[in-house]
Structure 1
Amino acid sequence: MSGPGDADDPAWAAAVVMDGRRVIGRCVLDGRASAPFVPGMLALRLGPLLEVLIRRLAPRPDVVLLDATGRDHPRRAGLALHFGATEDLPTVGVTHRPLLAEGAWPSDKPGATSPLTIGTDHVATWVRTKPGTRPLVVHAGWRTDPDTAVEVVTASLVDHRTPEPLRVAREAARRARAGQ
């Protein structure tokens, strides 16, 4: 089954390197999707563009946050895991909803967590970033574990629900798409 999105669709990607609240590196690219959208196969569609992006980014980040899953995936290997393995960089995925995993939301206190599991395997973690808002799903990727992934995400929160590096990169990609 495929979804919306064909091979060769236009695509935009952005990445930033941050030191605290300060952006110290930025790269924005436009390119083409390498494959059609197929659920569970995002690495084939966007992986090549992200590979070029991260290799042009300076300085090289210590850890990469991606809008992607890790082990909460039909093959237990989402884009956050694939990308980290190909680039030999620690990775953490951040999504708004789990893909397959299940688990109760954490309490409404910022920093509260609760596990997301597939069967008995802890594959991701709900993280409450702001009271009264939906928690984020934090995915351990390559060379990270669930606790480290949560630490990375909570350390990168500033004034928004989304980790600051992801928020700034998404904003840059949106501006590039709009031609600004």
Structure 2
Amino acid sequence: MTWPATESELVSAQHALAQATPPPWIPADNCLVGGAWVCFPRGLSGTGSAGDRAWGAAVVMDQGRVVGRCLVPGHASASYAPGLLALRLGPLLEDVVRRLAPHPDVLLLDGTGRDHPRRGGLALHLGAVLGLPTVGVTHRPLTAAGDWPADVPGAMSPLFIGPDQVATWLRTRRGTRPLVVHPGWRTDLTTAVVVVSRSLAGRRTPEPLRRARRAARLLRGP
């Protein structure tokens, strides 16, 4: 699978992804967890455009230690449009993750899975392109709806599109906004929550994703 070049091609690919049934991935007690992030110039607002400067970073962590890291400066492939994030970020994310060594067993990224107008968000798409289990972690749902969980670490509450649960709120720290956990490629809801919960290191954001975000921002500079 490659990255579509047009909106119509991406929409078709997302419909196909929604119907895909890859074999489920079961996490081992100890697995290598990756995180990937892309940031843009400070002050960039609106939908942006193709060619915007961008900085990608990815890390691999093994039981709390960073064992691999990759930094790649690049450019956005398109402007941003809701439900079409893969057009803007997909190629750069693929590039930076493919350069990682060692290769992660599962990847965390800022993107949705089934919480998407066509049930084919970036977390699902990137995993399919890479052939890698993925979990999306976002600050808010894209199209799903559901009440926040109790203010207790580990509390969850479902997010639905119609009758279907597509993601879950997960409270990672008391007194802070919960995160949305999205099953991605080859991961179900239970597995996605396990991966995120094991990766928190006492913080609100999973550590591999937090480290990747920090690395991308340092690469960008002030």
TM over 0.5, yes or no? yes
Q: 3-state DSSP class of the match of 1:48?
A: helix
* Residue deviations 1:21-53 (CA, integer Å, cap 9, x gap): 110000011101111212211111111111111
2: CA distance, partners of 1:105 / 1:38: 26
1: CA distance, partners of 2:221 / 2:113: 30
Q: 3-state DSSP class of the match of 1:85?
A: helix
2: CA distance, partners of 1:113 / 1:39: 26
| 1:108 match | 151
RMSD over aligned Cα, in angstroms? 0.9
Give the TM-score normalised by the residue count of structure 2: 0.78
Which of the residues 106, 113, 120 maps onto 1:63? 106
Identity of aligned residues (%): 69
**When the two structures are aligned, how many residues end up with a matched partner?**
177
1: CA distance, partners of 2:81 / 2:134: 22
1:54 aligns with 2:100: no
| 2:126 match | 83
| 1:22 match | 65
1:150 aligns with 2:193: yes
1: CA distance, partners of 2:98 / 2:143: 31
Larger relative contact order, structure 1 or 2 (CA cutoff 8 Å, min sep 6) = 2
2: CA distance, partners of 1:54 / 1:132: 33
Which of the residues 111, 114, 118 maps onto 2:161? 118
1: CA distance, partners of 2:164 / 2:151: 24
Q: Which amino acid aligns with 1:53?
A: V
1: CA distance, partners of 2:156 / 2:117: 23
1: CA distance, partners of 2:105 / 2:158: 25
Q: Which amino acid aligns with 1:25?
A: G
Unmatched tracts of structure 1, length 5 or more: none
1:163 aligns with 2:206: yes
Q: Which amino acid aligns with 2:152?
A: K
Give the TM-score normalised by the residue count of structure 1: 0.96
Q: 3-state DSSP class of the match of 1:44?
A: helix
